[in-house]
Amino acid sequence: MDDEDAIRAVVRRVLGKVTDATVVEAGTVAEATAKLAEGDVAVLFVDLGLPDGPGFDVIDAALARSDDVAIVVMTGASSVDHPISALRRNVSDFLLKPFSRNSLLEAWERVAARFRDKPTRARRTPKTKSTKAVEQWREQHAPEVIGDHPSLLQVFATIERIADTDATVLVMGESGTGKELVAAAVHSASGRTGSFVTLNCAAIPENLMESELFGHVRGAFTGATGSRNGCFLEAQGGTLFLDEIGEMPLALQAKLLRALQEKKVRPVGDDRERSVDVRIVAATNRDLEERAEAGLFREDLLYRLSVIPIELPSLRERRTDIPLLVRHFIALSNETRGRSVEGIAPEALDMLTAYGWPGNVRQLRNLVERIVILRVDGWIEPNDLPLRVRATAASLEGNALEPQLPDGGIDLRDAVERFENALILQALERTGWNKNQAASMLQINRTTLVEKLKKKDLKPAGG
């Protein structure tokens, strides 16, 4: 349903040729609500901006009759009315107006697929892969992702299920959790023959971002002495990984959305578009929904990117993997740095396991590498670890709360300083260095905590 006669005519004409189902149209909320009451609807194409009310009223009316209706939201590029609310209503797809016939057909195919062969799928008994099969899959597609925690295995299972589709994937997780490794695994398991191309959206100046994405022709701008392909064309037939997607400028987000929907790109300075077959995997450590609500990220692009969301667990959420990771990084550092460290003492490993790792796996790898370089050989002992790691372990064991007065006396100010440092570090490690939560645990203002961190120069280990 749409208030524009031309849009309704296109949808009616195109869908009428590909389905035997009846295509019913409406131009207002009132008209649509009345027609919904006349019978069940399988697929609903709805504009969010209607003359007598929001399109959400129609969506809610349809969902009240059946929670199995597929909903495709249609909206203009310059007037996106709360697609975050659409996401929360389990909208199935999104069409940016004006859209082409092919885009409409592709949206129809995506939503229609959910209704095909339902009885067959319902009778199908899920099969559990053997441990050997899982290990073989990991060895082939994700050899650098170390760990056996259930949350990580669930990520592998998701990748395996969606790898052979062209659905966009949004990988979410804290910095250092391995988002690029997951994107590479999606590409490897997809069977795509093109390249895996990476673009860090936070590292490219805004005035060069469009050229990096779509390419440019000779003379397109000052300094463009020759033509070059952008990341989309370089990834033709393969996968484009857009890291730190939340940092992409707003003006370029609209062009990216159009490229995703139309599967065409226009190099800067060119007068023709080029078709592309590229799988998009995006990643962020930001809350994109929060940024969208603040007007910093396009809500319709968020919907388009998050067809398949994958959330990576932080390292503190899978502490049982830390011993595996530590031993792996020791072996790797020995090989790359020419060292012969034999292993790690149990007491030191316990301290590493107790630490909060705000920088996650990347931080752990950097710390182990530094220790191996300095240790050279032998075993890693507790004294080889940074003070903040040892202090955290001591705090968790309660040792920091049992002060002992030495026979020869003590420097009280120094003792109080060390005691305060230990409590601050403990609060930060327990909260993954979330300053708001840590300040709340310590019952002080966030600004006070920030001032103390600057004065004391307290930082994450390896960060």
CATH code assigned at 379: 1.10.8.60
* Whether residues 222 and 371 fall in one domain: no
- The CA-CA-CA angle for residues 202, 300, 288, to 5°, reads 45
Task: Note the pLDDT tens digit of each residue in 35-73.
Answer: 887 777 888 888 877 777 777 778 878 877 776 778 887
Q: Does residue 123 or residue 397 have the better pLDDT?
A: 397
Range of lowest pLDDT (244-253, 298-307, 377-386, 432-441):
432-441
> In which residue are the tokens 């997780």 written?
173
Q: Mention every residue, 6+ apart, whose C-beta is less than 8 A from residue 365.
A: 325, 329
Token digits of residue 331: 């072996």
DSSP per-residue string spanning 252-303: HHHHHHHHHHH-EE--BT-SS-EE---EEEEEESS-HHHHHHTTSS-HHHHH
Question: What pLDDT is stored for residue 77 in this prediction?
Answer: 46
Q: Does residue 95 or residue 36 have the better pLDDT?
A: 36
The answer to the question of residue 398 being in a domain is yes
Question: What pLDDT is stored for residue 119 in this prediction?
Answer: 42
* Whether residues 350 and 286 fall in one domain: no
For residue 394, count other CB atoms closer than 10 A to its CB: 18
* Whether residues 96 and 198 fall in one domain: no
Task: Note the pLDDT tens digit of each residue in 69-80.
Answer: 788 877 764 444
* Whether residues 159 and 265 fall in one domain: yes
User: Domain range holding 10?
Assistant: 5-116
* Whether residues 306 and 364 fall in one domain: no
Band of pLDDT at residue 406, cut at 50, 70 and 90: confident
SS3 308: strand
* Whether residues 274 and 143 fall in one domain: yes
Count of domains for the chain? 3
Domain stops at, among 264, 289, 313: 313
The answer to the question of residue 142 being in a domain is yes
* Whether residues 302 and 336 fall in one domain: no
Q: Does residue 25 or residue 197 have the better pLDDT?
A: 197
Domain stops at, among 58, 85, 116: 116
Domain stops at, among 278, 313, 348: 313
* Whether residues 342 and 416 fall in one domain: yes
* Whether residues 282 and 163 fall in one domain: yes
